[in-house]
Chain A
Amino acid sequence: MMRKALAGFAAVALMAGTAWVAAPPFADAQGGGTVEVEVKYSGAADVQTLKVNKDTEQCGKEAKVENIVVGGNKGLANAVASIAGAKGQPTGKKAAIDQKGCKFVPHVIATTPGEVDILNSDGILHNIHTYSTANPSINKAQPKFKKTMTEKFEKPEFIKVTCDVHSWMLGWIAVMPHPYFGVTNESGVAKIENAPAGKQTVEVWHEKLGKVTKDVEVKPGATTKVTVEMVKK
């Protein structure tokens, strides 16, 4: 009896151990590192302002179309940095994008294949209209009483999301084939955590500026900084 219990305990411990080793997984096991990608853009920012003719209580009187957002020190926001050609399991985290102030917030989300929560904080009608080729395109109404809709995006792809009610609303869902990615903040910096060590290629995607790559040597357990310059094509 005691023996049995002990064996059971050992089994559980072993499983737990294995799980513990495998969990933060792909990286630490092989000694992954952090890549801090700074994306720069020397061109002019491109943010258009439109007059709003409806829902001004939620949307405000002016809407901004954020085509190219450049922060201090020429940092380019809303770019997705990732390790090109890497392989890895989905993060298991459900990503979310909100519709707030008649804007998609954040403007760009990145996630691994799976479900995404689409929130409607505005409490007015929006419609989620996606433009995709790998995944089925969707166009679903999200009326005021529908606070959350959950949609599945199974294939890696950069998906444009719009709302036809508010034509200026534009967001992106980046479905990534592996968990080594980050989205640049307002100063143009993205962090890729637990990136596989060794010679890698960092790929940066921006909705208006396309893709740029740069080679990097990822050091295990350390942060490697890399600066990537994007230009208007």
Chain B
Amino acid sequence: MARTSAGRATRRAHLLRCLLGPLPAAYSEYAAVGPSSAPRIWTLLVALFRARVGLHALGVSLIIGVVFAPSEGSAQAGDANAGKAVYERKCAMCHGVKGDGKGAGAELLDPKPRDFTSGVYKIRTTANKTPSDQDLFRIITAGMPGTSMPPWDVLPEKERWNLVAYIKTFAADKFKEAPKKLELPKEVSSSEASIKRGKEMYEAIECHKCHGNLGRADGPSRPELKDDWGHPIAPANLTKRWTFRGGASRTEIATRIANGVLGTPMPSFIDSVEKPEDVWHLTNYILSLGPESPAYATLVTVNGTTDAIPDDPNAEFWKKAAPNTIPLMGQVIVDPRNFNPIIDLVIVRGAYNDKEIAFHLTWDDPSQTTAEGRADAPGAAKKIAADAIALQFPSKIVPGTERPYFLMGDATDSVYLLRWEGGKAGEVSASGPTKLKTLEGGEVVSKTVYENGQYRVVIKRPLAGKGEERPTFQPSTFVPVAFQAWDGGAGETGTRMSLTSWYYLRLEPPQSNRRFVVPPVVALLTLVAMLLVVRAASRGRGR
């Protein structure tokens, strides 16, 4: 039961990401043209995209109201030969025809696709190295959140069991040892006392070394972590459990703590906690660190106020302001692309008064980097840039649905960026991702707080825009807005960024009781756009 709800949450997260995240449009452009520079990569991406389009279609049906619940069933004996055909069609691209994880697309992916010949599997419910068939089936079905492994619940259940049988043949000798079920200690339900004990244990067993004090994956050992194959690997951000590779249910989390994640730095703790039930206290604590799902916004609301707007990001004012959580995705349209973006969401709060407009942005970044760089940690990436984030608006806000190209505009329609970089905000006019012009003489102020792997930044500017290149914000209007973010510590700079497509900003009049009627319309438009994407992709498939 827990499984099903976790599965649903994952799917919901994916769905929201796909629906609201602007990327489908970007990808569809991709599907229509395709970069001539990298045809192989292109083929792969289209394939991955198609895999995800399947998801979108599901998502659409979910939105329309068809509740989708996958039948999981008990373990079935699959037919390896039949599985081979499916494997070569669906899996070989990344995992390789030989199962060695060296498919055509492997190079681009992070984390790397599993090397099935090693017989090492991260996610097991078994006490030994051998995963159960059910474990493999679960990953194929649910995918691995936060990686390039999509859920394959679009395949008939029988085909997934056949795949299980086939991938085991890549390391037949490793499966000679029968899986031994891991027995978890007796479950402890969540309570204040249990969460408190979990926190004590979290500190005692030093989870923070990798996962950070508040679970934001910013621990001091983070830059040094490598998997058993020597590839850098990031610790889980415990505040975003929808990205947990092995699922976000209580039992799944407890199993990861008890068992570790094979082939990664995450060790087994079952013999290393003070009392066995501490595994459950830790689980309850981890569940208390963040929401179940990110609750993405469809629209960014900026509330009017008659007060002064504080520029301190930690001010009480901002704690009271409504958060709008916006998902970001890697920029993969122009070179150099970002296939493995670090910043996956930003929480936006906004306020305006009769003089100025302010944005409060919160996002997780495991390493604070400025243009000068940072204290060098062992094994840290050498190529670093300044962390940055930007809000993008049309240079001129006009009524209607016309907007500049979402990727920093183009020669005909430029965009205006409120851009914060390494602790300082400024204004930029852009007519393309590499055609940036700094606007001088503005009145932008900003204040930055960086704490425990999280930035909180306030950026303010006058409501009225000076000159042709700065938009003027007017109350009670819709303003197109998009976001871009860079984790400089991971080497993200230039077009290697996370981004969104256009959203809308709504400047809500002060103390207005008139709630909005427009969001459903916006949602409907998004849905229509989605359907177009799905159609375009199906057409692509027919080609």
Contacts and interface: CB of A to CB of B under 8 A. Distances in A.
B376 A131 contact: no
Contacts of A124: 206
A164 interface: yes
B228 interface: yes
Contacts of A131: 228
Interface stretch (B218-226, B285-293, B407-415, B470-478): B218-226
Given A164-B225, A165-B209, A139 B271 contact: no
Contact of B272 (A51, A53, A137, A141): A141
Contacts of A144: 204, 206
Nearest to A143: B205
A205 interface: no
Interface string B107-139: 000000000000000000000110000000000
A13 interface: no
A139 to B, nearest CB: 4
B433 to A, nearest CB: 35
B88 interface: no
Contact of B265 (A50, A145, A164): A164
B225 A143 contact: no
A165 B129 contact: no
Interface in B255-291: 260, 262, 265-269, 271-274
A168 B206 CA distance: 18
A137 B265 CA distance: 12
Contacts of B128: 136
Contacts of A96: none
A137 B263 CA distance: 9
A143 B204 contact: yes
Contact of A142 (B228, B272, B378, B379): B272
A219 interface: no
Contacts, number: 78
A131 B210 CA distance: 21
Chain A residues touching B, range = 20 to 34
Contacts of A141: 205, 260, 267-269, 272
B377 interface: yes
Contact of A167 (B204, B221, B267, B272): B221
A54 B209 contact: yes
Contact of B226 (A139, A143, A167): A167
A140 B268 CA distance: 5
Contact of B274 (A129, A138, A145, A164): A145
A187 B226 CA distance: 34
A22 interface: no
Contacts of A167: 221, 224-226, 378-379
Nearest to A127: B267
B1 interface: no
A54 B260 CA distance: 23
Nearest to B208: A125
B38 interface: no
A125 B208 CA distance: 10
Contacts of B33: none
Contacts of B269: 141
A179 B220 CA distance: 42
A54 B220 contact: yes
Contact of A127 (B262, B265, B274): B265
B272 A139 contact: no
Among A138, A139, A145, A149, chain B packs the most CB atoms within 10 A around the CB of A139
Interface residues of B, number: 29
Nearest to B219: A54
A47 to B, nearest CB: 15
Contacts of A53: 220, 375, 377-378
Nearest to A164: B265
Contacts of B271: 140, 149
Nearest to A139: B267
A230 interface: no
A124 B208 CA distance: 12
Contacts of B221: 54, 164-167
B88 to A, nearest CB: 29
B210 A165 contact: yes
A125 B260 contact: no
Contacts of B226: 164, 167
Contacts of A79: none
Interface in B22-81: none
Interface in A111-142: 124-125, 127-129, 131, 136-142
Interface in B358-378: 375-378
Contacts of A145: 204, 274
A165 B272 contact: no
A138 B274 CA distance: 20
A63 B378 CA distance: 10
A145 B228 CA distance: 27
Nearest to B207: A125
A107 interface: no
Given A144-B206, A145-B274, A165-B221, A51 B376 contact: yes
A164 B220 contact: no
A186 B320 CA distance: 65
Nearest to A138: B268
Interface of B: 128-129, 204-206, 209-210, 220-221, 224-226, 228, 260, 262, 265-269, 271-274, 375-379
A-B CB proximity, top 7 nearest: A164-B265, A167-B224, A125-B206, A54-B220, A127-B267, A141-B272, A141-B267
Given A140-B272, A141-B269, A167-B221, 9 more contacts: A54-B209, A124-B206, A139-B268, A140-B271, A143-B273, A144-B206, A165-B209, A165-B221, A167-B378
Interface of A: 50-54, 63, 124-125, 127-129, 131, 136-146, 149, 164-168
21 contacts: A51-B376, A51-B377, A52-B378, A54-B209, A63-B378, A127-B265, A128-B267, A129-B265, A136-B129, A137-B228, A138-B268, A139-B266, A139-B267, A140-B260, A140-B268, A142-B272, A149-B271, A164-B265, A165-B265, A167-B225, A168-B378
